[in-house]
Chain A
Amino acid sequence: MSEGLLQVQDIEVRYGAIRALKGVSFEVYEGEVVALLGANGAGKTTTQKTVSGMLQPAIGQILFDGERIDGIPAHKLISMGICHVPEGRRVFPRMTVHENLEMGAFRFKRPDAQLLEHVLELFPRLRERIKQHAGTLSGGEQQMLAIGRALMGKPRLLLLDEPSMGLAPLIVKQIFDIVREINSSGVTVLIVEQNAAQALALANRGYVLETGEIVLTGTGRELLADDRVRAAYLGEEIAAVS
């Protein structure tokens, strides 16, 4: 039996006295897109931050490519190829688009020029705005920049935290198309979404989090068909879209 590229085993994460994750386990196989779903406050962001080393689990362990990575701080984890596009995009507002992309390649001696070209082909809008300060971009452009910046770090595992948040449906579709393209070029993706329909259409498998625990798992298709998922997440969405 093959092992997952990422194995999260029974982790508990606390903010002071608050237990945000209460024993979460899941796996992501090489080449997959896995979706983490759940309502606001369920612990999705906390899970991703723990995988990328921004938070450390109090209990449990995390393996990447068979190696223990819990306890390793974020700035060292990126050199293993774990690149995180954080919630809220978090581009550097007073740096230009170009400088932001170079920041993504900080772990290398110098940014890969060919890769930069590739990223700008993926996001032509960024090329148009290459000299602009990132703070002047629209939300959708900032999201593209945040993803482009992560790609400059040559990810093996790309963590995306609500890339569709606050964006117009047309832009969301573009971004999901690009995520699909990134995945088909061999990058494994762990995506957090409230936009369950879109995420599950893209994902091979999904996990549903509820107040710090995984309550449901299955393939994208299974979860899309699951009554509980439909009631909890898709119902809201259909209402929101129409």
Chain B
Amino acid sequence: MNYLILGITRGSMYALIALGYTLVYGVLQLINFAHSEVFMSGAFGSYAIVHLLVGDGKATPSWAVPFILIAGILSGAITAAVIAWLLERVAYRPLRRRGAPKLAFLISAIGASFFLSQLAGKLFGRLTSNSFPEFFDQNAVIFRPFGAEVRVLQIVIVASAVLMMIFLDRLVSVTKLGRSIRAISEDAPTAALMGIDIDKTISRTFIIGGLLGGAAGFLFGLNFSFGNTMGFIPGVKAFAAAVLGGIGNIRGAMIGGLLLGIVENLVPLVNIDTKWTDVVAFVVLVLVLMFRPTGILGERLGRAA
């Protein structure tokens, strides 16, 4: 049970990051490989703000904790959204204008990744063991279903992730921006004929992906120690989760993220050393793709007429 709870916690972070990959893929048919650094920038952005607010955290009154959590999420989300927006402007849009081949986008993404990661290293130091000040007792056990322990931090992470995903789901299915994103994913030239501004919508898609990824950066930072190279592993896993769910499919990214988190945390149960966690996660990915090459919910996307 404890492992399942760990899995859900971690999986909901993967899901938030995976959404960024899948949203951008939807509108550009492009994997934004610099998204892992967008996520990283969220951790540092929120770190700066939270540190400013609570110092070393010891004197934080308990009534202030929810507000600081909200401030952390918002500052992480906003920092990452700004970075994602800039990324699209600087690294992708000029290539799009020139009709560059896909490989050029990939190289541009890798360059942007290194740049952002090194920039964070320069600004915040190259420690891999940054951690947020302890401004509340993260490990207090809230309740014990079936003998398992559910901790405060886990509830914070899962609840905020679920809230954001519900919000995104509504945004995509109800609002005009959501309609634009869907229309561009299906057929961009025709979307333009309907009056949709493609550039503007792509920009906003990066911003939404950045908001979610940055929030995940803050949540991740609360849970683990972090540094300027923190983006890589969660980034690769979230990308895998997006593929697992069916790249381009929004609900697929949510499901894929949760599933990957749960599967890799069940590893110790079957008497495999936790060193093998990552290997198991990717073996599962490969197995699923062998039987469903378009991912769990990917069928509808792959068959776009």
Contacts and interface: CB of A to CB of B under 8 A. Distances in A.
Interface of A: 52, 54, 73-76, 78-79, 83-84, 86, 90, 92-95, 99, 102-104, 106-107, 135, 149, 153
Contacts of A52: 193
Contacts of B304: 93-94
A242 B34 CA distance: 60
Interface string B278-305: 0000000000000000000000100111
Contact of A92 (B176, B190, B300, B303): B190
A184 B180 CA distance: 32
Nearest to A108: B195
Contacts of A78: 193-195
Contact of B196 (A75, A83, A99): A75
A150 to B, nearest CB: 9
Contact of B195 (A86, A92, A153): A153
B195 A79 contact: yes
A103 B187 CA distance: 12
Interface of B: 176, 179-180, 182-183, 186-187, 189-198, 300, 303-305
A199 to B, nearest CB: 22
A83 B305 CA distance: 22
Nearest to A107: B195
A92 B301 CA distance: 12
B176 A106 contact: yes
Nearest to A103: B194
Given A75-B195, A79-B195, A107-B195, A90 B176 contact: no
Contacts of A99: 179
25 contacts: A52-B193, A54-B193, A73-B192, A74-B192, A75-B192, A75-B193, A75-B195, A76-B195, A78-B193, A86-B193, A90-B187, A90-B189, A92-B182, A92-B190, A93-B186, A94-B186, A102-B179, A103-B183, A104-B194, A106-B180, A106-B194, A106-B195, A106-B196, A107-B195, A153-B194
Contacts of B195: 75-76, 78-79, 106-107, 153
Contacts of B189: 54, 74, 86, 90
Contacts of B303: 135
Contact of B182 (A54, A84, A95, A107): A95
Contacts of A107: 194-195
Contacts of A92: 182-183, 186-187, 190
Contacts of B196: 75, 106
A67 B303 CA distance: 42
Contacts of A54: 189, 192-193
Nearest to B189: A54
A198 B300 CA distance: 37
A143 to B, nearest CB: 14
Contact of B197 (A75, A90, A153): A75
Contacts of B198: 75
Contacts of B183: 92, 95, 103, 106
